[in-house]
Amino acid sequence: MHTFQRQAAPRLHHWLRAFALGSLAAVAALTFSTPAGAAAQDWPQRPVSVVVPFPPGGSSDAIARMLTVPLNEKLGQPFVIDNRPGATGAIGATYVKRAPADGYTMMVASIGVYAVNPFLQKNLAYDPAKDFDLLTVAVRAPNVLVANPQFPANTLAELVAYMKKNPGKVSFASSGAGSSDHLTAALFWQKSGTDGLHVPYKGGGPAISDLLAGQVDVSFQNVNAVLQHIRAGKLKAMAVTSDKRSPVLPNVPTMAEAGVKDVEVYSWQGVAAPRGLPPEIKSRLHGALVSSLNDPKMRQKLSESGFEVVANTPEQFNQFEAQELQRWKTVIEKGKIALD
């Protein structure tokens, strides 16, 4: 009997240990899998942070604020704006990259964050092609070439002729080095064979103010930012950078119609989240965003401001971003553009 016990004891101990480990593994699997699925199914259970990597008042901020109300209604939790400006959007974007991919942090940002910063900022702390789950390009708006009313040229053809007679003397205001308006100007110079004087400001507001005051000559600005000044006769519009005329400026020709081709540029606002968003949450959030943007009242409000609703799929956003990265890399390298 004692001999049997001595022989059986190791086997019994081994069996009990294996059973215990198996049970622990099963419990662990239940512990780590079930709540994750449940968390995704029940999301959101608390407020969601909507990071805007720019100061209040700009286009990204405006679009983000317009989206928070319907998202709140559709998903049942507050969507709260969190402005984190600095380094042309890089500070806020880096914050989003480092946030947990749990559906409680998202970002609304513009072309600079997604397609320009990698080519202008050394040691950039995020990679727009790798660090985010891209959800949708929400809206886009063309830029419009505007001039102070006292500037001698009234059409794009007259401007090109004037610039060729006065190389490097026509001043182009922008909201900062690497901004959509700066890069549009650089692309215009390349395609028209001209050269202008870039005058960067710390934001679109100061640039437009000096343009109105006649301190600078011309500027490529987002349509929505200068529409009221054009309508009031305080700025004259020469051309829009869209592939067709803007509904809010039907009498203003496109760049191609006015004689300079391949300067089709849209300033756009995209929505993203930290990489690794659970598929269920990604699907629900994307669905809520698209239905919010396609709501007739929302579309009308955006259209009246000069925005065109895009509301595309994550796959389409990824393809579009890749194209934009390549395009602006070429423009920046050819123009030898650097941060001022």
One-character DSSP codes across 112-125: IIIIIHHHH-TT-S
**What residue type is assigned to position 3 of the chain?**
T
Q: Quote the DSSP letter at residue 203.
A: S
Sign of CA dihedral 296, 301, 303, 308: negative
> Are domains 48-140+266-334 and 142-240 of this chain identical in fold?
yes
Query: How many whole angstroms separate alpha carbon 186 and alpha carbon 176?
Result: 13
For residue 31, pLDDT beyond 80: no
Range list of H helices, 193-305: 204-213, 223-231, 279-293, 296-304
Give whichever of 24-28, 35-39, 110-114 has the largest mean pLDDT.
110-114
Task: Give the chain's mean pLDDT.
Answer: 88
Nearest 5°: phi and psi at 173? -80, 145
Rounded Cα gap, residues 269 and 245, in angstroms: 20
Strands 197-200 and 105-110, by their bridges, are unpaired
Q: What is the DSSP letter of 152?
A: S
In CATH, what class is 142-240? alpha beta
Within 79-213, strands assigned E span: 79-83, 105-110, 132-147, 171-174, 197-200
Distance between CA atoms of residues 246 and 212, nearest Å? 22
Asked if 260 and 145 count as a contact pair (C-beta separation under 8 A), the reply is no
Give the CA diameter of the chain: 113
pLDDT tens by residue, 95-140: 999 999 999 999 999 998 999 999 999 899 999 999 999 999 999 9
Omega cis (within 30) before 44: yes
Superfamily of domain 48-140+266-334: Bordetella uptake gene, domain 1 (3.40.190.150)
- How many residues does the structure list for the chain? 340
Domain coordinates in residue numbering, the chain: 48-140+266-334, 142-240
Confidence at 29, pLDDT banded by 50, 70, 90: very low
pLDDT tens digit sequence for 213-255: 999 999 999 898 899 999 999 999 999 999 999 999 999 999 9
pLDDT at 203 (0 to 100)? 73
Q: What is the pLDDT of residue 340?
A: 52
Residue 39 banded pLDDT, cuts 50, 70, 90: low
| pLDDT band at 205; cut points 50, 70, 90 | confident
pLDDT higher than 90, residue 74: yes
Pick the range with the lowest mean pLDDT from 24-38, 99-113, 154-168: 24-38
Under 8 Å between Cβ of 89 and 113: yes
Comparing CA positions, the residue from 127, 138, 62, 65 lying closest to residue 96 is: 127
pTM for the model:
0.79
62-65, long-range: CB < 8 A, 24+ apart: 62/305, 63/108, 63/138, 63/139, 63/269, 63/307, 64/108
Whether 89 and 54 have beta carbons less than 8 Å apart is answered as yes
pLDDT in tens, 276-297: 999 999 999 999 999 999 999 9
**Residue 9: pLDDT over 60:** no
Orientation of helix 296-304 relative to helix 279-293, angle to 10°:
60
Residue 62: alpha-carbon gap to chain centroid = 12
**Out of 5-9, 141-145, 295-299, which region has the weakest mean confidence (pLDDT)?**
5-9
The pLDDT, as a whole number, for residue 11 is: 53
Is 30's pLDDT higher than 60?
Answer: no
